[in-house]
Chains A and B, each alone.
Chain A
């Protein structure tokens, strides 16, 4: 066994290495990882509009991570069923936007969004606006909303997926086997 002095010399060194490591990691992380928050929207939340907006624009406090199927905005009509967004959400820096079809019946519309925050957590929320004068538009056809990026099951390279519980069960079995084997390793005490 080592003497106590050697032990005392090692501990500060380990601590110093740890501090350096923290610094390095923080340097690597840069300012990219933080939680996005909605700052403003166009139309504004709870606005009353005479004519439907051409697009929904959501402005966040920091850039949103762009990527296929990562961010979605939906506009749900007064009937709670029909969806009025026209296509997929697009990201430009801090702003996520989606074009909107000409709106139909007057009433309360809801904007639901789910974006991928820079830190990797999905951030979702809900806004509302009221259409005071009925338009002539029709909601997006059902097969178009099924193509909603978040729900799309036809993404390329997605073959061979298995349900989450299969992954978990596999991990538990592997872990059990690993621990069983690890406990049988001959050691100094046996």
Chain B
């Protein structure tokens, strides 16, 4: 995201790491869960089979970037408007672009999911409308596109008039737009539906705030020691909460899916593609906890004293691991336990 005019001091390397590793995560996940084609049934084309998860992970990342940038004013605080304003002006502009990408990828995902349902057929407006009418996931994607556009409109307004558009409102709209998709995700057990649903929503909110917050703070604030010394301790608290939340909810959902499976035991489930991805995500989480601890206890004390640190490098590694986890997650939510 180096499109803005104002953030000349921004370092986009961490974002590149995030996006690249997310796509790698998707491809690895697809390789793990690859299945033989069913004889006699037409397969969706490669564009759909690979394109759909890639578009879904881009959707997730656009959402994460938008949420992170909308949270940034809250992390920076409102007591240093003079120093903060140039950075926040850049953040508003990139948030606007992020929300546009978010809305577009939601609509493309809608088309691809329609195509997936009717393999070997071209996609018409009628088919997409029918898909929205019959399938819950279609309605959810439409909701996401609409809310992303509302988020875009709010950011556009904020670009025009500055921080007088409440940052809380922008953050709330962006976070709200995260909610529809997990409700229609399949990673839900029939019997424990309500509990796993709430857990899944919290998982998505936690992951988005964590990754987005880290990305926004590192990319936009790394060059500004005063703001960084102020915002990073706040983000560190948010990240600790998110780490706990994501771990707990992830375990609840993954284990519920594996343990209450009607046809498999927990151990047999771990050997499936779903189980392997679940274990890979636990691995990502452990790595993130280690990297987060290093930033918190080794780098943060130096940063609060306005000293130069290797924060960008470490954060880029952390974001790359987060990207992998997002890639695995996209495949995981679509992988059957078989």
Bound complex: CA A23 to CA B190 (Å): 18
What string of 1s and 0s marks CB contacts (under 8 Å) between A165-190 and chain B? 10110010011001100110111111
What string of 1s and 0s marks CB contacts (under 8 Å) between A109-136 and chain B?
Answer: 0101110111111111110000000000
- B123 — which chain A residues lie within 8 A by C-beta? 161-164, 167
Set of chain A residues within 8 Å of B36, measured between Cβ atoms: 126
Q: Which one, B51, B111, B136, B161, contacts A120 given CB within 8 A? A: B136
Contact residues in A for B122 (Cβ distance below 8 Å): 161-164
Contact A34 B189 (CB under 8 A): yes
**Nearest chain B CB to A178's CB is how many angstroms away?**
5
Q: Which residues of A contact B285 (CB under 8 A)?
A: none
A54 at the interface (CB under 8 A from B): no
Report A16 CB to chain B, min CB distance, Å: 10
Name the one of A1, A148, A183 contacting B163, with C-beta atoms under 8 angstroms.
Answer: A1
Indicate if A69 sits at the interface (CB-CB under 8 A).
yes
Range class of the B interface residue count: 35 or more
Main secondary structure on chain B at its contact with chain A?
A: helix
Q: Are A121 and B186 in contact, with the CB atoms below 8 A?
A: yes
| A92 is an interface residue with CB less than 8 A from chain B | no
> Are the C-beta atoms of B107 and A4 separated by less than 8 Å?
no
* B179 contacts A32, C-beta separation under 8 Å: no
Whether the Cβ atoms of A18 and B175 lie closer than 8 Å is yes
**Is B237 positioned at the interface, with any CB of A under 8 Å from its CB?**
no
Indicate if the CB atoms of A114 and B38 lie closer than 8 Å.
Answer: yes
Asked whether A168 and B160 contact (CB < 8 A) given A74-B41, A116-B135, A119-B188, the answer is no
- Distance to closest chain A CB from B285 (angstroms): 23
Partner of A183, one of B3, B161, B184, B188: B3
- Cβ 8 A contact of B198, one of A26, A124, A183, A185: A26
CA distance A80 to B39 in the complex (A): 8
Could you tell me if B201 and A22 are in contact, using CB atoms closer than 8 angstroms?
Answer: yes
For residue A50, CB closer than 8 A to chain B, the reply is: no
B55 to A, closest residue via Cβ: A168
A70 interfacial by beta-carbon distance below 8 Å = yes
Does A57 sit within 8 A of B, measured CB to CB? no
- Contacts A119-B186, A158-B127, A160-B125 given; does A171 touch B108 at CB 8 Å: yes
- Contact residue among B45, B120, B338 (Cβ-Cβ distance under 8 Å from A125): B338
Contact B51–A168 (Cβ < 8 Å): yes
Determine whether B57 belongs to the interface, using a CB cutoff of 8 Å to chain A. Answer: no
A83 contacts B by Cβ under 8 Å: yes
| Interface contact A185-B159, CB-CB below 8 Å | yes
A35 and B42 in contact, given A183-B4, A187-B89 (Cβ under 8 angstroms): no
Residues of chain B with a CB closer than 8 A to A145's CB:
40
A65 close to chain B: CB less than 8 A: yes
Q: Other CB < 8 Å A-B pairs besides A22-B198, A112-B39, A164-B47, 5 of them?
A: A34-B189, A72-B41, A124-B38, A168-B51, A189-B6
Name B's A-contacting residues (CB within 8 A): 3-6, 35-36, 38-42, 45, 47-48, 51, 74, 77-79, 81, 85-86, 89-90, 92-93, 96-97, 100-101, 104, 107-108, 111-113, 115-127, 130, 134-138, 152, 156, 159-163, 166, 168-169, 171-172, 175-176, 179-180, 183-190, 193-194, 197-198, 201, 205, 261-263, 334, 336-338
Can you list 14 contacts pairing A with B, beta carbon distance less than 8 Å? A10-B168, A11-B168, A18-B176, A37-B263, A70-B134, A119-B188, A120-B113, A121-B137, A125-B38, A155-B121, A161-B121, A161-B123, A185-B156, A187-B160
